[in-house]
């Protein structure tokens, strides 16, 4: 994690293979087969720049898409990614809204956040699966409806809960553009069917461990600007809009988080830290996310052991982030035109 394989000292060490944390079972399997068989290690690929999303994917796999997430930052980022692939998704802010949308019209593919107010993604998915059994009363609940879980929670057993609730696949936040594309390509043909030709077993459909979160980076900057630019497609105005929304939303949440820590409210600390960490991870706030995740963990366990210290660290790191992003909030200088 954080070690570049093109470093001279790495090459001189003559490792038989290299795996990047967090490990994927398929990567481990392929590496073991290659080492045991004595096959030559594949040559490193020359970087060809960031992979672009396919703007014609919606034409190839036309789908009615619903995005269900209560976080405005995550909504905006996911909407941009889907729009770059040609989709025009509808948006719901929680499970209740998602069911209301389905009552009005049918959808093929649902990106479902797991932790939301009013009704979380697990309960919403359970109700979708129940309503699919009664088409007379719920005509829009066709089969299949592919439900993709999206969760930033690192709590043990999350994946199993998603499977048990009837979800078909799993994306770990912060979502990467290529992961969204892959999950659409994986399920698009099935989701677009009017009725399933065969039953789908969600537990066997989900890849082991779900889609892995992006690998850690060795960069010392507080913000992963490459990630932000990917989400805004290099557009300066879109970047300013996203940064402004992030700073406003996160600034408010951090103030609320401080108050919850001071009042010793573990569940409120967990809720705020979870939401704040999700948006921060999505936007590439490298050093802020681990602090928030630890606060979320302590809130989950009901033991705010050093929450005050962590909260202070969050405030300081957010100040660094705000300072780092300030130049990107400035409009481009106007160029005078000589008459």
End-to-end CA distance of the chain: 57
Residue 322 maps to a domain: yes
Domain that holds residue 67: 61-205
* CATH code, domain with 120: 3.40.50.2300
Whether residue 201 sits in one domain with residue 77: yes
Chain segment 104-118, per-residue pLDDT in tens:
999 999 999 998 888
Per-residue pLDDT at 187 exceeds 80:
yes
Per-residue pLDDT at 207 exceeds 80:
no
Per-residue pLDDT at 273 exceeds 70:
yes
Whether residue 168 sits in one domain with residue 80: yes
What residues pair up with 112 in beta bridges, in sequence order? 68, 149
Q: Which of 205, 238, 258 is at the close of a domain?
A: 205
pLDDT band at 269 (very low <50, low <70, confident <90, very high): very high
Residue 22 maps to a domain: no
Whether residue 318 sits in one domain with residue 287: yes
Q: Which tokens go with 27?
A: 């990567």
Residue 55 maps to a domain: no
The three-state (H, E, C) secondary structure of 38-66, written as one string: CCCCCCCCCCCCCCCCCCCHHHHCCCCEE
Confidence at residue 6, expressed as pLDDT on a 0 to 100 scale: 56
Whether residue 282 sits in one domain with residue 149: no
| Alpha carbon distance 110, 141 (integer Å) | 12
| Alpha carbon distance 65, 92 (integer Å) | 11
| Alpha carbon distance 251, 165 (integer Å) | 34
Per-residue pLDDT at 306 exceeds 70:
yes
Confidence at residue 40, expressed as pLDDT on a 0 to 100 scale: 57
pLDDT band at 235 (very low <50, low <70, confident <90, very high): confident
Name the residue among 324, 317, 267 with its Cα closest to residue 292. 317
Whether residue 236 sits in one domain with residue 162: no
Residue 107 maps to a domain: yes
Chain segment 135-182, per-residue pLDDT in tens:
899 999 988 899 999 887 555 567 778 878 889 888 888 888 888 998
Residue 153 maps to a domain: yes
Residue 9 maps to a domain: no
Q: How many domains does the chain have?
A: 2
- Backbone phi and psi for residue 248, each to the nearest 5 degrees, phi listed first: -65, -50
Which has the minimum average pLDDT: 81-90, 202-211, 219-228, 327-336? 202-211
Whether residue 236 sits in one domain with residue 189: no
Residue 56 maps to a domain: no
Whether residue 65 sits in one domain with residue 154: yes
pLDDT band at 51 (very low <50, low <70, confident <90, very high): low
Whether residue 229 sits in one domain with residue 197: no
Chain segment 11-42, per-residue pLDDT in tens:
667 777 787 766 667 678 777 877 777 665 55
Average pLDDT over residues 296-302: 90
Residue 296 maps to a domain: yes
Whether residue 251 sits in one domain with residue 195: no
Whether residue 287 sits in one domain with residue 175: no
Residues 6+ apart with CB under 8 A from 105: 64, 140
Mean pLDDT, the chain, integer: 80
- Classify residue 120 as exposed, middle or buried by CB count within 10 Å of its CB (0-12, 13-18, 19+): middle
Whether residue 121 sits in one domain with residue 238: no
Whether residue 199 sits in one domain with residue 71: yes
């Amino acid at each position: 994690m954080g070690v570049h394989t093109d470093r001279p000292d790495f090459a001189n060490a003559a490792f038989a293979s290299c795996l990047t944390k967090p490990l994927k079972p398929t990567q481990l399997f392929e590496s073991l087969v290659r080492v045991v068989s004595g096959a030559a290690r594949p040559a490193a690929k020359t970087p060809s720049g960031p992979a672009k999303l396919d703007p014609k994917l919606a034409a190839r796999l036309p789908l009615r898409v619903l995005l269900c997430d209560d976080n405005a930052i995550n909504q905006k980022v996911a909407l941009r990614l889907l729009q770059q692939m040609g989709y025009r998704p509808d948006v719901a802010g929680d499970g209740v809204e998602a069911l209301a949308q389905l009552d009005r019209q049918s959808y093929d593919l649902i990106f479902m956040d797991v932790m939301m107010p009013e009704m979380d993604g697990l309960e919403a998915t359970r109700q979708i699966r129940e309503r699919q059994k009664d088409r007379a009363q719920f005509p829009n609940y066709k089969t299949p409806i592919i439900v993709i879980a999206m969760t930033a929670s690192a709590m043990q057993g999350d994946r199993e809960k998603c499977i048990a609730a009837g979800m078909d696949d799993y994306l770990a936040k912060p979502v990467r553009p290529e992961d969204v594309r892959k999950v659409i390509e994986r399920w698009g043909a099935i989701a677009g069917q009017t009725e399933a030709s065969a039953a789908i077993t969600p537990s066997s459909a989900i890849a082991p461990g779900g889609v892995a979160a992006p690998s850690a980076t060795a960069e010392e900057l507080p913000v992963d600007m490459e990630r932000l630019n990917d989400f805004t497609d290099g557009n300066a105005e879109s970047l300013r809009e996203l940064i402004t929304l992030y700073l406003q939303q996160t600034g408010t949440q951090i103030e609320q988080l401080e108050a919850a820590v001071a009042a010793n409210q573990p569940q409120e600390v967990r809720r705020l830290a979870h939401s704040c960490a999700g948006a921060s991870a999505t936007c590439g706030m490298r050093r802020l996310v681990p602090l928030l995740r630890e606060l979320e963990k302590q809130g989950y366990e009901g033991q705010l052991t050093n929450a005050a210290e962590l909260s202070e660290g969050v405030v300081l790191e957010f100040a660094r982030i705000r300072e780092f992003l300030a130049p990107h909030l400035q409009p481009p200088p106007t160029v005078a035109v000589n008459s």
